[in-house]
Amino acid sequence: GEDVEQSLFLSVREGDSSVINCTYTDSSSTYLYWYKQEPGAGLQLLTYIFSNMDMKQDQRLTVLLNKKDKHLSLRIADTQTGDSAIYFCAQRGSGGYNKLIFGAGTRLAVHP
Partner 1 sequence: EAGVAQSPRYKIIEKRQSVAFWCNPISGHATLYWYQQILGQGPKLLIQFQNNGVVDDSQLPKDRFSAERLKGVDSTLKIQPAKLEDSAVYLCASSLELSYNSPLHFGNGTRLTVT
Instruction: Single out the residue of 58, 69, 63 nearest to residue 89, CA to CA.
Output: 63
Interaction pattern, residues 33-52, with partner 1; x per rule: CB under 8 A: x-x----xxxxxx--x----
- Single out the segment in contact with partner 1 by CB under 8 A; choices: 10-18, 54-62, 69-77, 88-96: 88-96
β-bridge pairing 106-111 and 85-92: antiparallel
Looking at the Cβ atoms of 35 and 70, the one nearer to partner 1 is: 35
| Nearest residue to 92 (alpha-carbon basis) of 44, 24, 36 | 24
Residue among 10, 92, 108, 110 that touches partner 1 (CB under 8 A):
92
Question: Binding of partner 1 at residue 104 (CB under 8 A)?
Answer: yes
**Residue 91 Cβ, how far from partner 1 at the closest point, in Å?**
11
Cα–Cα distance for residue pair 93/99, rounded to 1 Å: 5
